[in-house]
A and B are shown apart, each in its own frame.
Chain A
Amino acid sequence: MTPISRRGVLLGAAALPLAGTALARPALAQTRYPVRPLQLICPWGAGGGTDATARIVASLLERELGQPVNVVNRTGGSGVVGHAAINASNPDGYTIGIITVEITMMHWQGLTPLTYADYTPLGLVNRDAPGVQVSASAPYKDIKALAEAIKAAPPGKLKASGTGQGGIWHLALVGWLQAMGLKPDHVRWVPSNGAAPGMQDLVAGGIDIVPCSIPEARAMLDAGRARSLAIMAPQRDPLFPDIPTLKESLGVEYQTAVWRGIGGPPKLPAEIAAKLTAALEKVAKSEQYAEFMKSRGFGMDWADGAGFGKVMAETDKAMGEAMRAAGLAKS
Chain B
Amino acid sequence: MQLSDKVTGALLIALGGVTAYGASLQPGVPGQDVGPSVFPAVIGLGLMGCGAMIAFGVGHSFEAPDDTIPAEPGETVPRPPRFAEWRAFLAPLLLVLYVLVSETLGFLITAAICILVMTRALGGSWRLAVALALLGPVGLHLAFYELLRVPLPDGLLALPW
Q: Which residue of B lies closest to A191 (CB)?
A: B32
Q: How large is the interface on A (under 10, 10 to 19, 20 to 34, 35 or more residues)?
A: 10 to 19
Contacts of B155 in A (CB 8 A): 17
Q: Is the CB of A17 within 8 A of B31?
A: no
Chain B residues within an 8 Å CB radius of A156: 31
> Is the CB–CB distance between B151 and A326 below 8 Å?
no
Contact with A along B133-161 (1 / 0, CB 8 A): 00000000000000001010101000000
Q: In the complex, what's the smallest C-beta–C-beta distance from A185 to chain B, in angstroms?
A: 5
A16–B155 CA distance with the chains assembled, in angstroms: 11
Complex A-B: 13 CB contacts under 8 Å: A10-B103, A13-B103, A14-B103, A14-B104, A16-B104, A70-B151, A72-B151, A165-B32, A185-B30, A185-B31, A189-B31, A191-B32, A328-B30
Does A235 interact with chain B (Cβ within 8 Å)?
no
The 5 closest A-B pairs by CB, nearest first: A14-B103, A327-B30, A72-B151, A185-B31, A189-B31
- Report Cα–Cα, A141/B103, bound state, in Å: 59
Q: How far is the CB of A289 from chain B (nearest CB, A)?
A: 22
Residues of chain B within 8 A of A326, CB atoms compared: 30
Shortest distance from the beta carbon of A21 to any chain B beta carbon, whole Å: 10
Q: Which residues of B contact A72 (CB under 8 A)?
A: 151
Min CB distance A192 to B, Å, is 13
A13 to chain B: which residues have CB within 8 Å?
Answer: 103-104
Complex interface: chain A residues within 8 A of B69 (CB) = none
Contacts of A165 in B (CB 8 A): 29, 31-32
Do B151 and A39 touch across chains, with their CB atoms under 8 A apart? Answer: yes
A236 within 8 A of B: no
A275 at the interface (CB under 8 A from B): no
CB-nearest residue of chain A relative to B151?
A: A72
Nearest B residue (CB) for A39:
B151
Residues of B within 8 A of A189 (CB): 31
Cβ-closest chain B residue relative to A166: B29
Q: Once the chains are docked, how many angstroms separate the CA of A152 from the CA of B104?
A: 64
Residue of B nearest to A15 (CB): B103
